A and B are shown apart, each in its own frame.
Chain A
Amino acid sequence: GESVGLHLPTLSVQEGDNSIINCAYSNSASDYFIWYKQESGKGPQFIIDIRSNMDKRQGQRVTVLLNKTVKHLSLQIAATQPGDSAVYFCAENSRNSGYSTLTFGKGTMLLVSP
Chain B
Amino acid sequence: GAVVSQHPSWVICKSGTSVKIECRSLDFQATTMFWYRQFPKQSLMLMATSNEGSKATYEQGVEKDKFLINHASLTLSTLTVTSAHPEDSSFYICSASDRGQGTGELFFGEGSRLTVL
Contacts and interface: CB of A to CB of B under 8 A. Distances in A.
A101 interface: yes
Interface of B: 1, 4, 6, 32, 34, 41-46, 49, 91, 93, 95, 97, 102-111, 113
A34 B108 contact: no
A99 B110 contact: no
Chain B interface, DSSP helix/strand/loop, else mixed: strand
Contacts of A36: 108
B44 A32 contact: no
Contact of B105 (A6, A49, A100, A104): A49
Interface of A: 2, 4-8, 32, 34, 36, 41-46, 49, 89, 93, 95, 99-107
Given A2-B43, A4-B42, A8-B41, 11 more contacts: A5-B43, A32-B103, A43-B4, A43-B111, A44-B44, A89-B43, A89-B44, A99-B97, A99-B104, A100-B32, A100-B49
